[in-house]
Amino acid sequence: MQATQLQDILHVPVIPVYYNDNPETCASILRACYSGGIRTFEFTNRGAAAADNFRQLLQLRDQEMPDLKMGIGTIKTAADADQFISIGADFIVSPIVSREVAAVAAQPGILWIPGCMTPTEIALAEDLGANLVKLFPGDTLGTGFLKAIKPLFSGLKFMPTGGVEPNRESITTWFDAGASAVGLGSKLFAGTNEAGFGQLSLRCEQLIKALPL
């Protein structure tokens, strides 16, 4: 199951990372990203409305976007992992390496993507069964870190998140350095509002076209 989830991510490896308290705004963002070609979306557990909004987004996905994979990010505890897996998350993303979260995700075979910043954390994530590692924060680590670390962990794939710019140059530079996917947060959604959802779709489409696939 994890292998299938990983292949789904790698098929269109541009992953929006988003949270908003307003469920209608969340729905508009999701539709715009999907219209632009996005097929994997990470909603983050960063507010009181996270569980309710994620549940509503999953319902919207099932109705309108059945091929979209929906993951939950900012998962730091086993309890949160268990809650969102029960709601229906396709994958779990953490900003840290947690044995407890890894164990919860492993029980139903859910893909777990831990956040790492050092070789020691990456090695621990690998020991705990991770196949895809989130390099976070990406702008602090930089492409030089990825180039240096990748040969040491040839069995792992890497997804820089945080600081990845939503433009062709940044995407190309990260993939040339060895990234297998990229996560894009606030910079992807900058300027998006009721009049700008179409622009978000176009931005996603352009990023996907920039992929060296």
Which residues carry out catalysis? 42, 134
Report the SS3 class of residue 101: helix
The DSSP 8-state label assigned to residue 151 in this structure reads G
DSSP string, 188-200: HHTT-STTTHHHH
Q: Say which residue the tokens 């009181």 belong to.
A: 48
CA-derived radius of gyration, the chain: 16
Q: Give the helix/strand (H/E) hosting 71.
A: strand 69-73
Q: Are strands 111-113 and 91-93 parallel, antiparallel or unpaired?
A: parallel
Q: Is 55 exposed, middle or buried (0-12, 13-18, 19+ CB in 10 A)?
A: middle
Whether the bond between 119 and the residue before it is cis, its omega within 30 degrees of 0, is no
